[in-house]
Amino acid sequence: MRALAALLAVTAVLAAGCGGTTAQVGMGASSIVPASAPAFISIDSNPSSAQWRTIDALASKFPDKQKAVDSIKEDLSKQDVSWEHEVRPFLGKEFDFVWLDFQNKGMNFVALSTAA
- Look at residue 64 in the predicted model and tell me its pLDDT: 92
Total domains in the chain come to 1
Residue 94's nearest CA partner among 71, 111, 107 is: 111
- The 10s digit of each residue's pLDDT in 39-57 is 998 888 887 788 889 989 9
Domain range for 109 is 2-113
- Band of pLDDT at residue 116, cut at 50, 70 and 90: low
Q: Assign residue 2 a region: left if phi > 0, alpha if psi is -120 to 50, beta otherwise?
A: alpha
Distance CA 41, CA 36 (A): 14
Q: Which residue has the higher pLDDT, 94 or 38?
A: 38
- pTM reported for the whole predicted model: 0.53
Q: Which residues of 15-32 are buried (b: 16+ CB within 10 A; e: fewer)?
A: beebeeeeeebbebbeee
- Residue 46 confidence (pLDDT): 81
